[in-house]
Amino acid sequence: MPASLIDGNSLLAVDVGAVTTRAAYFDVVEGQYRFIGMGHCPTTNIGATRNLVLGVQLAVENLQSLTGKQLIDEDGRLLIPSQPDGSGVDGMVTTFSVGAPIKTLVIGLLPEVSLKSIEKLAHATYARVVDSISLNDPRRLDEQVNAIIRHSPELVLIAGGVDGGASQSINNLIETVGLSAYLMPDGQRPAMLYAGNRALAGSIRAALSKIASELVICPNVRPALEVEALGPAQRELASLTTNIRQRQMPELDELRTLSGGIILPSAYAQGRMVRFLSSYYGGNKYVLSVDIGASSVSLAASFGEHLHLNVFPHFGLGEPLAGLLKHTTLDDIARWLPMEMPIETVRDYLYQKSLYPQYIPATREELFIEQAIARQNLLLSTHTMVQRLPGRYRNQGGLLPSFEPILAGGAVLTNAPSLGQKLLMLLDGLQPAGITTLVLDHNNLLSMLGVAAEVNSLLPVQVMDAGALAYLATVISPVSDAAYGTPIVRVKLIREDGTAMTSEVNMGNLQILPLDSGQTARLELRPLRNADVGLGPGRAGAVDVIGSSLGVVIDARGRPLRLPPNAAERIKLLKKWLKTVGG
């Protein structure tokens, strides 16, 4: 892997999303890698133009016109490598999130052990689990076989047995899967990934390699009863996901060839980047990345080297919205609206947006509906992710662990017309606790940088150091069970020039401490009534903070945030908060 400017040179990163295809150009400027520009085009996966490559070509043409750099020749071919006249680009990498969720069958021995681990693996990609089978499955063998054939899964994920442990039980499950796949038509047989007792790898290969459309054997996700190791299997699953998509959309092969084989699912590339950042920022940093896309919400939480990647296809803000009311209620969405409107308007918006996933809110009313849905989906995704985290990373009350920083991207955030709206969506949806920094991936570069790291480890670091991500605000979110209106923290902000401001923040308040962009300051925090500002219950301390146009934010509205049940009071409060952050 090149780690120098000499080897790397310019790079084109393409992301084929469910709605938008983007092409980003990176090059060396004054000895450092820089993000130069981004071109867009609607993803061309529907209608008569059903060829993803066309969308990529149009996105690159858009990039060309924005940057003035010629990247495509007169015949519409990408110029790789760059030409002596300066046109073209030295390399290309691709990520994708386009496509319906992959119908996935999960197989494990015990529901609370290997089945749970393999389900977590499934949640790390664009999968929809259609059925699960374990030793405790009450169905007869032929009922299981008929169910598998009826579901016609595209992917089967199998785990079971610790390394060196039992083998007969997993062999029985393999026989069920093998028989079902054998009875399916040739072209419909699923791809399979085995991540169980490694002693069985040989017999699994013998039993399934001729039946599966593709078989991957990878290290055990549960090598010992107390040990869960999803990392190596996630890498294999990313590759398998790509191959499944390529069977559905053969033109991905062309993108793979142009990319020299460097093509990854966007969520995996996002996770890869977050894990890298967790190490880059220092061993103790927990880093969270959020991507609110049209096809899914992806949350990648990295605790040092330990990555927990969660993809929620049912919470995407495009086509999946038609099924959202299976997971939440209209009232729970509408409670986030800072204006009165009939609940039917919200309902109709959900269903109509599922037909027009590319739609951009055209009125203020629509903007608030869209942001209300984003808040609710982010909240549900975050809650599920926290429940799935290993016990050592969870805190009391099921709150979000302390992440620093939290990186956020997705059109609903980047399109929001004010920084305050972006901030509130993140605070309401994620409800961070303690001290954190919110960073906006305003060009949605994170997954592109993650895949770029496959060919050039220097590029992501330098591009990020050059400010490709936008610092949004430092947020202090005290956790307290004090009554509404009771003071829970005293703060003192001491600026570089020696000026200071002090404030006492009451439970239920959202307060901004003004600190201009680029300025640094020392923030002293003195919790009252045993509140936890992120330093431990009742513990005082000080942190260095950086200013932004939003200043430093003290979010004392409570964790979890509880909105008034009375609609008029709630709307008044939501309007007040919106005004506090600048509207």
Q: Which residues bind another protein (CB under 8 A)?
A: 41-42, 44, 46-50, 54-55, 58, 100-101, 140-142, 145-146, 149, 175, 179, 182-183, 185, 187-188, 319-320, 322-323, 344-345, 347-356, 358-367, 369, 415-418
For the CB of residue 40, give the shortest distance to another protein in the complex, in Å. Answer: 8
Cβ-based nearer residue to another protein, 69 or 422: 422
* Euclidean distance between CA atoms 123 and 271, whole angstroms: 13
Please give the single-letter amino acid code of residue 577: W
Name which of 104, 138, 97 is nearest 120 in CA terms. Answer: 104
Cβ-based nearer residue to another protein, 25 or 368: 368
Cβ-based nearer residue to another protein, 41 or 545: 41
For the CB of residue 79, give the shortest distance to another protein in the complex, in Å. Answer: 22
Name which of 173, 158, 175 is nearest 121 in CA terms. Answer: 158
Give how far the C-alpha of residue 115 lies from the chain's centroid of Cα atoms, to the nearest Å. 23
Tokens of 4: 């120098």
Pairing of strands 406-409, 434-440: parallel
For the CB of residue 418, give the shortest distance to another protein in the complex, in Å. Answer: 7
Cβ-based nearer residue to another protein, 280 or 359: 359
Strand order in the sheet with 552-556: 306-312, 297-303, 286-292, 406-409, 434-440, 470-477, 552-556, 509-513
Q: In the beta sheet, which residues pair with residue 477?
A: 434
For the CB of residue 152, give the shortest distance to another protein in the complex, in Å. Answer: 9
For the CB of residue 273, give the shortest distance to another protein in the complex, in Å. Answer: 27
Cβ-based nearer residue to another protein, 390 or 417: 417
Residue 355, SS3 per DSSP: helix
Q: Which residue has the tokens 């509408």?
A: 334
Q: Where are the alpha helices (DSSP H) in 138-251?
A: 141-151, 168-183, 201-208, 231-248
For the CB of residue 75, give the shortest distance to another protein in the complex, in Å. Answer: 18
Cβ-based nearer residue to another protein, 7 or 143: 143
Residue 122, SS3 per DSSP: helix
How far is CA 187 from each of CA 208, 211, 215, 414, rounded to the nearest angstrom? 15, 11, 15, 41
* Euclidean distance between CA atoms 20 and 55, whole angstroms: 9
For the CB of residue 173, give the shortest distance to another protein in the complex, in Å. Answer: 13
* Euclidean distance between CA atoms 87 and 8, whole angstroms: 16
Cβ-based nearer residue to another protein, 422 or 557: 422
For the CB of residue 103, give the shortest distance to another protein in the complex, in Å. Answer: 10
For the CB of residue 316, give the shortest distance to another protein in the complex, in Å. Answer: 10
For the CB of residue 123, give the shortest distance to another protein in the complex, in Å. Answer: 17
Please give the single-letter amino acid code of residue 42: P
Q: Which residue has the tokens 């890698």?
A: 33
* Euclidean distance between CA atoms 38 and 20, whole angstroms: 12
Cβ-based nearer residue to another protein, 141 or 225: 141
For the CB of residue 470, give the shortest distance to another protein in the complex, in Å. Answer: 16
Cβ-based nearer residue to another protein, 153 or 361: 361
Cβ-based nearer residue to another protein, 360 or 500: 360
Cβ-based nearer residue to another protein, 41 or 195: 41
Cβ-based nearer residue to another protein, 356 or 484: 356
Pairing of strands 214-217, 191-194: parallel
Q: In the beta sheet, which residues pair with residue 545?
A: 521
* Residue-level length of the chain: 583
Cβ-based nearer residue to another protein, 345 or 502: 345
Cβ-based nearer residue to another protein, 180 or 220: 180
For the CB of residue 352, give the shortest distance to another protein in the complex, in Å. Answer: 4
Tokens of 467: 């400010």
Give how far the C-alpha of residue 51 lies from the chain's centroid of Cα atoms, to the nearest Å. 26
For the CB of residue 321, give the shortest distance to another protein in the complex, in Å. Answer: 9
Pairing of strands 541-546, 520-527: antiparallel
* Euclidean distance between CA atoms 382 and 408, whole angstroms: 13
* Burial class (CB within 10 angstroms; exposed 0-12, middle 13-18, buried 19+) of 529: middle
For the CB of residue 405, give the shortest distance to another protein in the complex, in Å. Answer: 26
DSSP 41: E
User: Do 545 and 523 form a contact (C-beta atoms < 8 A)?
Assistant: yes
Residue 397 phi/psi, 5-degree rounding, is 85, 0
* Euclidean distance between CA atoms 15 and 69, whole angstroms: 19
